[in-house]
Structure formats: C-alpha cells, structure tokens
Structure 1
Amino acid sequence: MKPLNSLFSALIKKRIVATVSALAVIALECAAGIWQLNRANTKITQAANLVARQQMPILNANAQIWTLEEATQRRMIARGQYISEAAIWLDNRPKPILVGGVNTSQSGFYLMVPLRLEHRDEILWVNRGWAPRNNGNREALPPVKTPSGVVNVEGIVFSNPGRVYELGDGKPSGDLTKPRIEQNFQLEIEGRLRGWNQTPFILREEDAGVEDGLLRAWSPLTTGVDRHYAYAFQWFALAFCGFIFWLTTGVRQYWRRGAVNEVSCILIKSY
C-alpha cells in the first residue's frame, strides 16, 4: 500500500494546482463533446418529426384560418396572387444542397414574397427559393420570374425562414413599396408596417419543376449531423489526451523523486 500511497501523493497531493486545472479542462472538453452529441440527436429528432408530419393530410391555406401549432411542418397548398413589389431578399443565405450533387457553400438570397390568398383577406409569405448573389454588385438582384396571375403554391409550413447574425436593431430598411434586401425576416413587424392580416407562419415552396431562376433543393434537417459527431470525437479525444498528459507528467515526477531519493540514500550510506 505504501507505493500506492506515495503515487497518489505524487499525482494529486503534491500537484493540487495541476490536478484542479486538468480536471477543469477535461470537464469542459467533455461538456463540449456532449453538447455536440445533443445537437446531432436534436437534428435527427427534428428530421423524424418533419417526415412524420409531412405524411399527414395536406392542408389548404384558403380553407380556413390555421394556427402555427396546427400547421407547422405540415404540407400546405395555397392559391392566390403574388405581391411582387413587396418582395424581400434575405441576404447571406447558403446554397441549398443539390439532389445528388455537392454543396459548394455559395452565398446568395432567399426570396420572400407575400401571397394574397384568393377569397380571403389574408397574406401568406412564401419562401420561393434561393438565388445566387452578384459578387460584383451586392445591390443587383438576381433575375427571377414571378408569376403575375393567380398561382397554386405547395410547400411546407415553418415559423420563419431561419435567422443569420445581424448587426444593428434589425428594423426593416428601405422603401416598402419596392423589393428590398434584408438580413432577416420578421413576420410580425412586416404585418404591422403594412397593416396586413397575415398567417402566423411562412410557406417554404417545394420544387415543382418550374424554371424561374430559383433553386428549391432544400437541405435536409439532418445536414451537419456527421460534423457534430466529428466535433464530439475531437472534444473527447482532447479530454483523453489531457488526462494522459496529466497522468504521465505525474508519474514521471514520481519516478524522478524516487530516483533522487534512492541516490540520496546511497550517498548517505557511503559516508
């Protein structure tokens, strides 16, 4: 037991600061790894829920007033007319992953256009799709086609089109009577500014094979799961390396002290 007690003393008692620091770093790295695993599990759960809700009967936006709770992540069809002059281009949006292709991570816009529902005094905002940004002139909007007559739109209901980091107060800028570029879309604020009666959700249009200059190959919710697993492995590996470093340095100090004590004993006996 004496060697074990000596080893314990060398590793911990005589290295309190190093031990506490090592424990703090290891705990922090393990927590980061667990967080990454939780993020991956959350995405997988959300994707499963989305698939389940998409298999439910398709809703009709023109049939009645729908709440967000009733419609979220459900398939929905809507009939109405686009108000193209009120379009909003959401900047700094990554290119959706192409079906069977590779994501080039090109930056561009999401095109949000209000749809005036037929036979209803209600506006439904539609995320019509993605278009590339003009890198030479940010203010130059992509050439896309917006139908002028009554159209049928089918897609999936979401509470918002997603947010990106934004400097400032996030209030709408520019003339409300013409298309404008914004960082984020705020449904309630748009309704108040325009005095519109709006649905409490947006519709993300699905690809129907229409050539209008917009890409609608939306990225699945599970995008990035493998990356989360890789990050989690890295954090756990760092935690393990931190433990090994703490252990090996302590053992080396223990052996070094043992060798010094042994030499000291030999010298004393020689005298």
Structure 2
Amino acid sequence: MARPHSTRYTVAALLLLGIAVVILTSLGQWQLRRADERRAILAAIEAGRKQAPLVLAPSTPPGDMKPWRVAQASGSWLPQFSVLLDNRNHEGRPGYWLATPLLLDDASHTAVLVLRGWLPRVIQGQGQPVLPATLPDGQAIKGELSERVPRMFELWSLGGQDTSSLPATLPVAGGAVPQVQNLPLDAYAKATGLTLLPTVVSQFGTGADDGLVHDWPEPSVDFQKNTFYAVQWFSFALFAAIAWLVVLGGAIKRMRQRASNDPAA
C-alpha cells in the first residue's frame, strides 16, 4: 500500500513557493525601478549637453547651472585652497582628483570649485604629491557642470574616527594640501570663507600637458541590462507560481481521491 502523502510537506512546499513568488517579483520590480532611474540620468545628461555653453559669473541664476551642461569661467585661481580627493582611481591606478577654486569676483569673494583633473598617488613614504601649476589668471577654462563633488562611500564612517575630514580652516598651516574622501560645498565654503556657486566644474583638457588626466567617469546608463534582469526575475517568479499551482492541484486531487475511497463518505 502506498504511503499517504504528508499534508505537512505540501503546506511547507506551498509556503516556500509562495514566498519565492513574492521575492522574485519584488526583485523584478526593483530592476524596473533601476532601469527608470538610469533612463532619467541618461535624459538629464542628454538634455544638459544639448544646451548652449554657459558663462559662469556671480550673477548666473542657479537654475541655469544644469548638470552636464558645458560651462566656461575666467578669474583668478586660489591654489592655497586646493584639496586632494583621495581614492579616485583611473584605469586601475590609485590617485587623486585635484580641486581648486576659481575666484570670479574679488569684491564678493565669489568663486566656483573646479575639479582640475586626476593625478596618480605618490608612493608611500615619499610625502605629498607635486601639484601642477595653475593657468594664468584671466584665462578661460571649460568644463562640465555637476551639482556637487561626486561622493565616495566612507567605509570608516561606520565606526571609528574619520581620518579624512576637511580641516575647519583653509589654508592649512605649513602649506600641506588636505586629502579628503568627500568635499561638501557648504563645508568647503565655510572653511575657505568663499561664496561658492552651487555647482562644480569638471575641467576639460586644454591640450597642453599639465600633468593631469581629464577623463571623468560617467554614471552607468545601461537601462537595457536592468530591463533584461527584470524579465529574468519575472520569469523565475512565473515558474515558481506554476509550481505552486501544480503542488496545490496535486494536493486537491489527493484529497478528492481520499474522500472517494473513504467508506464513511
């Protein structure tokens, strides 16, 4: 005589398959949201780069400083306020981004923060990296705008002391160039005493060898990949749902068979 099918195992299988359907569907929906986010980023990049180049000045309306828009500015460099952004790799090489403010108006101390380029990390024990000279004052620079300095995840912020914080006042005594992980504009403005425009310029190369690399990273906008992953997760959810129905159908069939074989029926 065949061993009676365990109701407990059937209920457990239905429960696990139901949970799998919910989780797999949620993963598919998450991938669709990621695809929408990347579409929005791509649209913002294309819209910004289609606009006419913007000339930055203290009176430039903040609404005109759209991310990804090309801009130009001229003024006086303030190298004493330069900051190195650590852990910015380029083609697998560790290094820094060099950030220096460009003074647009001396009377109001209005400036714009410029990411001048990438330079390699110095070998440990060899001191500070040698910073390239700035361009002559009054020479226009060109670059692409962003809302802020791209951030890096500070691993040590989860616990322990942050050893890479911005000094309270710039420049630092002794002329050392601060090395930080992230550079919020409000904290930088407070440390320097400058009135900063609410934007950052990632400078283009000038054609001259200034010792810096001007190859700036861009966000991933491959939304097709997220859509493909979403289809995969939804397919897995469909298979799990079919399996749930098969298990449920088998359980109902066995219940009917037992009921028909029951002499008391």
Normalised by the size of structure 1, how large is the TM-score?
0.71
1:249-260 superposed matches below 5 A: none
* Structure 2 match to 1:30: 25
* Structure 2 match to 1:113: 100
- Segments of structure 1 that go 5 or more residues without pairing to the other structure are 1-9, 96-103
Are the counterparts in 1 of residues 99 and 113 from structure 2 also a CA contact under 8 Å? yes
1:218-257 superposed matches below 5 A: 218-225=216-223, 227-229=225-227, 231-243=229-241, 246=244
Task: Write out per-residue CA displacement over residues 129-176 of structure 1, whole angstroms, 9 at most, x where no aligned residue.
Answer: 223334x52985554523252132111221112212123378424873
Query: Structure 1 vs Structure 2: percent identity of aligned residues?
Result: 22
CA 1:71/1:28 → structure 2, altered by over 3 Å: closer, same or farther?
same
* Structure 1 match to 2:59: 65
1:132-171 superposed matches below 5 A: 132-134=120-122, 136-137=123-124, 142-147=129-134, 149-150=136-137, 151-166=139-154, 167-168=156-157, 171=165
* Structure 1 match to 2:81: 86
Task: Write out per-residue CA displacement over residues 183-213 of structure 1, whole angstroms, 9 at most, x where no aligned residue.
Answer: 1111001111222111111111123323223
Determine if the alignment matches structure 1 residue 131 to structure 2 residue 119. Answer: yes
* Structure 2 match to 1:99: none
Q: Secondary structure at 2:75's aligned position in 1?
A: strand
Task: Write out per-residue CA displacement over residues 99-151 of structure 1, whole angstroms, 9 at most, x where no aligned residue.
Answer: xxxxx4544322211111256631110112223334x5298555452325213
RMSD across aligned positions (CA) = 3.8
Residue identity matched to 1:199: L
Equivalent of residue 44 in structure 2, options 49, 52, 58: 49
* Structure 2 match to 1:208: 206
**Farther off after superposition, 76-85 or 27-36:** 27-36
Q: Secondary structure at 2:74's aligned position in 1?
A: strand
Q: Distance in 1 between matches of 2:49 and 2:126?
A: 37
Q: Distance in 2 between matches of 1:176 and 1:107?
A: 25
Normalised by the size of structure 2, how large is the TM-score?
0.73
Give the superposition deviation at 1:93. 2.7
**Farther off after superposition, 188-197 or 112-121:** 112-121
Task: Write out per-residue CA displacement over residues 44-95 of structure 1, whole angstroms, 9 at most, x where no aligned residue.
Answer: 3322232223222222113x42243221222211112222232222222343
CA 1:137/1:202 → structure 2, altered by over 3 Å: closer, same or farther?
same
Equivalent of residue 183 in structure 2, options 182, 185, 193: 185
* Structure 2 match to 1:6: none
- Segments of structure 2 that go 5 or more residues without pairing to the other structure are none
Residue identity matched to 1:111: L
CA 1:17/1:161 → structure 2, altered by over 3 Å: closer, same or farther?
same
Give the superposition deviation at 1:19. 2.9
Are the counterparts in 2 of residues 84 and 179 from structure 1 also a CA contact under 8 Å? no
CA 1:221/1:60 → structure 2, altered by over 3 Å: closer, same or farther?
same
Are the counterparts in 1 of residues 202 and 216 from structure 2 also a CA contact under 8 Å? no
**Farther off after superposition, 79-88 or 196-205:** 79-88
CA 1:119/1:84 → structure 2, altered by over 3 Å: closer, same or farther?
closer
Aligned residue-pair number = 244
CA 1:70/1:252 → structure 2, altered by over 3 Å: closer, same or farther?
same
